[in-house]
């Protein structure tokens, strides 16, 4: 493994104007990291990665590298790009348990973080290192958010999340599991109890619906619900999946590992929304694909689709009379998610968009003083690395705000 990683690292051209870095949503200093690694200082390379992206070890496994760093590598124009994802994971994984974040001088100011997903973990780590007393309020029994409950084990081993939990505890971060803000405890309760600032990073867990007949049937489920705990679902031998993003690929591959013999993904467009890599893995696992169709009804026997075609102006139209039943024992809808409104409905002064997303300025400030937000609950369903990058900016804003307060 190490020998292959070194050979791969040696392929880097150390470009003066690295396109790989431009393609990375969090601007990872890729050539510098690789040069430091090849010089024999893996710990320094690991520190560079962690300081730039606290979730580097996670992102190295789940990022859409083919469209980001690796997709922008100049070597990929005529051949294979440098596979930085493998290099990054080797370095980050080797270095993570050696992390020495040093002694932190406490400020005496308390910060509440609502949601223990990628955004919440990032904010908690960054602000804890600046001396703030952090408490994470997690609605589920374990932290991780989409990392734990939305990405299968075969893509992201949950051991990695437990390592982050251990790191956070070592930083003095307190974690309250099974605690939903907006039910028993409200945001106003938190301010009453001395929290000087609150961060909301609850993600998007409310499945989007199709608005077609049959969505309430007993053999119909939503992707985010299925991925949360596949073991409690009985799908039968065949499954139709409506939607063709990365979540749909995760559902398809998970279902095959849980007993489904035939899994078919259906997409309205000929171009699948999922990454090329995830589609390839799904095909190798045995997933079938049908494109150019959209669902019109879900039944006990399966899903009825109608063909769609694009006219000369590029507008898609249904082909009347082309309806066809695709038999399956179960159907899963995988067409993204939106936010729940539990916090907003119990808190005054927080504005939301028409989609229910929190309104913030460029720096993560909501419309209520002292409350900040980042991640999917602001941007909608995005990538983990985008959530981390945004949260880094918001952490700076929160630090400035907290330092401006009287002790």
Mean pLDDT of the chain: 93
**pLDDT at residue 271, as a whole number:** 87
pLDDT per residue as tens digits for the range 38-55: 999 999 999 999 999 999
Task: For the chain, give the percent of residues with pLDDT over 90.
Answer: 82
pLDDT above 90: residue 340: no
**pLDDT at residue 345, as a whole number:** 73
Q: Which domains does the chain have, with CATH numbers?
A: 2-96 (1.10.1060.10), 110-205+338-404 (3.50.50.60), 209-335 (3.50.50.60)
- For residues 372-379, average pLDDT: 88
Judge residue 142's burial from the number of C-beta atoms within 10 Å of its C-beta, 0-12 exposed, 13-18 middle, 19 or more buried.
middle
Q: Which residues contact 313 (CB under 8 A, 6 or more apart)?
A: none
* Residue of 406, 402, 369 lying closest to 110 (CA atoms): 402
pTM value is 0.92
pLDDT per residue as tens digits for the range 9-36: 999 999 999 999 999 999 999 999 999 9
Cα–Cα distance measured from residue 172 to residue 131, given in angstroms and rounded to the nearest whole number:
10
pLDDT per residue as tens digits for the range 138-171: 999 999 999 999 999 999 999 999 999 999 999 9
- For residues 219-248, average pLDDT: 96
**pLDDT at residue 353, as a whole number:** 87
pLDDT per residue as tens digits for the range 254-299: 999 999 999 999 999 888 999 999 999 999 999 999 999 999 999 9
CA distances from 111 to 59, 133, 135, 191, 402 (A): 26, 6, 7, 10, 9
**pLDDT at residue 337, as a whole number:** 82
- For residues 321-335, average pLDDT: 97
Helix ranges (H only) for 146-269 are: 146-149, 159-170, 187-192, 223-228, 246-257
**pLDDT at residue 3, as a whole number:** 53
């Amino acid at each position: 493994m190490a020998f292959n990683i070194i050979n791969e690292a040696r392929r880097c051209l150390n470009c003066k104007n690295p396109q790989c870095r431009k393609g990375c949503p969090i601007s990872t200093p890729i050539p510098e990291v690789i040069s430091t690694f090849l010089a024999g200082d893996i710990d320094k390379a690991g520190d560079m990665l962690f300081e730039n992206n606290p979730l580097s070890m996670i992102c190295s496994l789940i990022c859409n590298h083919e469209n980001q760093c690796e997709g922008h590598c100049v070597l990929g124009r005529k051949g294979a790009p440098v596979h930085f994802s493998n290099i990054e994971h080797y370095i980050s994984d080797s270095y993570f348990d050696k992390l020495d974040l040093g002694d932190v001088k406490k400020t005496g100011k308390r910060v509440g973080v609502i949601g223990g997903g990628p955004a919440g973990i990032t904010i908690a780590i960054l602000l804890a290192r600046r001396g703030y007393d952090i408490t994470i309020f997690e609605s589920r029994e374990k932290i991780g958010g989409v990392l734990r409950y939305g990405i299968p084990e075969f893509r992201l081993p949950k051991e990695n999340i437990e390592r982050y939990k251990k790191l956070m505890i070592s930083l003095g971060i307190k974690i309250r599991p099974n605690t939903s803000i907006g039910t028993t405890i409200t945001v106003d309760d938190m301010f009453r109890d001395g929290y000087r600032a609150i961060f909301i990073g609850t993600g998007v867990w409310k499945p989007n619906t199709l608005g077609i007949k049959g969505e309430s049937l007993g053999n119909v489920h939503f992707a985010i619900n299925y991925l949360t705990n596949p073991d409690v679902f009985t799908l039968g031998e065949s499954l139709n999946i409506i939607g063709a993003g990365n979540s749909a690929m995760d559902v398809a591959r998970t279902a095959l590992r849980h007993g489904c013999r035939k899994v078919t993904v259906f997409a309205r467009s000929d171009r699948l929304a999922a990454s090329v890599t995830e589609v390839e893995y799904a095909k190798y696992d045995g997933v079938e694909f049908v494109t150019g169709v959209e669902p019109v009804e879900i039944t006990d026997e399966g899903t009825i689709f109608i063909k769609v075609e694009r006219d000369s102006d590029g507008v898609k139209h249904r082909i009347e009379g082309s309806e066809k039943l695709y038999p399956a024992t179960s159907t899963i809808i995988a067409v993204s998610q939106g936010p729940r409104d539990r916090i907003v409905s119990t808190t005054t002064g927080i504005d939301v968009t028409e989609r229910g997303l929190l309104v913030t300025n460029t720096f993560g400030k909501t419309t209520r003083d002292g409350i900040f937000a980042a991640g999917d609950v602001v941007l909608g369903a995005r990538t983990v690395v985008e959530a981390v990058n945004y949260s880094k900016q918001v952490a700076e804003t929160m630090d400035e705000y907290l330092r401006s307060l009287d002790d």
